[in-house]
A and B are shown apart, each in its own frame.
Chain A
Amino acid sequence: MPSPFLTPGTRAQPDNIALLHLRRDQSIPTILRTQDDECQGYKEGKVTTTRFGVFPHSTMLDQPWGSQIAASKVDTGSRGRRPANPAKRKADELDESGTTTGVDDDTPVQKAVAAASGFLHMMYPTPEAWTLSLPHRTQVVYSPDYSYILHRLRVRAGGTIIEAGAGSGSFTHASVRAVFNGYPEEQQKKRKLGKVCSYEFHEQRAGRIREEISQHGLDGLVEVTHRDVCKDGFLLGDSETGSSPNATAVFLDLPAPWLALKHLVRKPASGGPSPLDPSSTVYICTFSPCLEQVEKTVRVMRQLSWLNIEMVEVQDHRIDVKRERVGLETEGIRGATVFPTTVEEAADKLWAEEERAKILRSGSNKNLSPEETAALKEAEIAITESMKPKTSTPMYDLGRLVHRSEPELKSHTSYLVFAILPRDWTEEDEQKCREQWPPSKLDALQDKGKSKKQLKRESKSQRMAESIAKKTAEKAAEADAEADAETS
Chain B
Amino acid sequence: MHSHIRPNQFCVLQLPSDQRRIIKLEPNTTVHLGKYGNFAANQVIGRPFYLTFEIQDTAEADGYKLRVVSATELHAENLIEEAEGDGEGEGDGNESGEGTPMRTNQTIIDSNSTQRLTWQEIEDLKKEAGGSGKAIIAKIMESHSAIDQKTAFSLAKYTLRKRKKYIKRFTIVPLDVSTLANFMLQEKDASKTMEMRDEHIGLLGCFGNVHHSGGTPLEAIPDMKPNGRYIVVDETGGLIVAAMAERMGILYPHDKDEEEEQSLAVEEQPEIPEESKDTRRQHVRPMSATNNTLTVIHAQTQPNLSLLKYFGYDTSAPDESHPLHTHLKSITWLQLVDPSRDPILATEPPVIPAEELAEMKTNKRSAYYFKRNRYQKVKSVSDEARAGEFDGLIAGTLFDPASVLKHVVPLLSGSAQVSIYSPYIEPLVQLMDYYSTGRRTAWINKKRDLESQKPAGGTLDLSSLYEEFTVNPTLLLPPTLHHARVRGWQVLPGRTHPLMTERGGAEGYLFHGTRVIPHEEAIQAAGTFRKKRKLESTSTPTNDRDVVMS
Contact = CB atoms under 8 A, between A and B. Distances in A.
Q: How large is the interface on B (under 10, 10 to 19, 20 to 34, 35 or more residues)?
A: 35 or more
Interface residues of A, number: 126
Given A52-B525, A186-B220, A308 B50 contact: yes
Contacts of A23: 478, 529, 540
A436 B46 contact: yes
Interface string A101-122: 0000000000000011111011
B485 interface: yes
B224 A438 contact: no
A305 B71 contact: yes
Residue of A150, A156, A322 with most chain B CB atoms under a 10 A cut-off: A156
B414 interface: yes
Interface stretch (A234-242, A250-258, A311-319): A311-319
A146 interface: yes
Contacts of B548: 395
Nearest to B227: A7
A417 to B, nearest CB: 8
Interface string B416-457: 110000000100011011001011011000000000000000
B1 to A, nearest CB: 8
Contacts of A318: 480-483
B208 to A, nearest CB: 10
A42 B335 CA distance: 52
Contacts of B413: 10, 64-66
B275 interface: no
Contacts of B2: 154, 280-281
A99 to B, nearest CB: 23
Contact of A148 (B7, B72, B199, B429): B199
Interface in A379-420: 392-396, 398, 401, 403, 415, 417, 420
A162 B282 CA distance: 42
Interface stretch (B91-99, B307-315, B508-516): B508-516
Interface in B504-535: 509, 514-519, 523-527, 529, 535
Given A144-B199, A422-B48, A446 B30 contact: yes
Nearest to B177: A151
Nearest to B488: A312
Interface stretch (B75-83, B127-135, B394-402): B75-83
B216 interface: yes
B442 to A, nearest CB: 5
B478 A126 contact: no
A393 B480 contact: no
Given A66-B517, A119-B525, A314 B485 contact: yes
Given A2-B221, A117-B523, A434 B62 contact: yes
A295 interface: yes
A218 interface: no
A315 B414 CA distance: 31
Contact of B49 (A118, A129, A422): A422
B118 to A, nearest CB: 26
The secondary structure that dominates the A interface is mixed
B111 interface: no
B32 interface: yes
B316 interface: no
Given A117-B523, A312-B489, A441-B28, A144 B203 contact: yes
Interface centre among B433, B543, B548, B550 (most CB of A within 10 A): B550
B30 to A, nearest CB: 5
Contact of A7 (B176, B216, B518): B216
B549 interface: yes
Contacts of A178: 211, 247
Contacts of B82: 299, 302
Contact of B51 (A71, A401, A422): A422
A398 B480 CA distance: 21
A244 interface: no
A201 interface: no
B51 A305 contact: no
Contacts of A115: 526
A20 to B, nearest CB: 12
B205 A147 contact: yes
A454 interface: yes
B75 A302 contact: yes
Contacts of B417: 126
Nearest to A194: B212
A323 B248 contact: no
B64 interface: yes
Nearest to B520: A68
Given A70-B519, A119-B525, A310-B488, A154 B537 contact: no
Interface string A141-160: 00110111111101011100
B79 A302 contact: yes
A308 B491 CA distance: 12
Given A117-B543, A403-B425, A128 B487 contact: no
Contacts of A420: 50
Interface stretch (B145-153, B253-261, B325-333, B357-365): B253-261
B223 A152 contact: no
A7 B527 contact: no
A71 B62 CA distance: 80
Given A143-B207, A302-B78, A316 B28 contact: no
A122 B414 CA distance: 9
A71 B519 CA distance: 12
Interface stretch (B37-45, B154-162, B230-238): B37-45
A52 B527 contact: yes
A464 B518 CA distance: 78
Nearest to B523: A119
B550 A6 contact: no
Given A119-B523, A395-B548, A422-B51, 6 more contacts: A126-B209, A152-B198, A302-B75, A311-B490, A395-B549, A401-B433
Interface of A: 2, 6-11, 13, 21, 23-24, 51-53, 64-71, 115-119, 121-124, 126-129, 143-144, 146-152, 154, 156-158, 174, 177-178, 180-183, 186, 189-192, 194, 279-281, 291, 294-295, 298-299, 302-303, 305-323, 325, 333-336, 392-396, 398, 401, 403, 415, 417, 420, 422-423, 425, 430, 433-434, 436-443, 446, 448-451, 454
Q: Which 9 A-B pairs have the closest CB atoms?
A: A66-B414, A440-B63, A335-B537, A157-B249, A118-B526, A396-B438, A305-B71, A151-B202, A147-B202
30 contacts: A2-B216, A7-B213, A10-B414, A23-B478, A66-B415, A66-B516, A71-B526, A118-B527, A119-B525, A123-B514, A127-B206, A144-B203, A152-B198, A154-B2, A156-B246, A157-B247, A158-B212, A158-B256, A281-B174, A307-B74, A311-B490, A313-B487, A314-B485, A319-B429, A319-B509, A321-B433, A396-B436, A439-B42, A446-B29, A450-B30
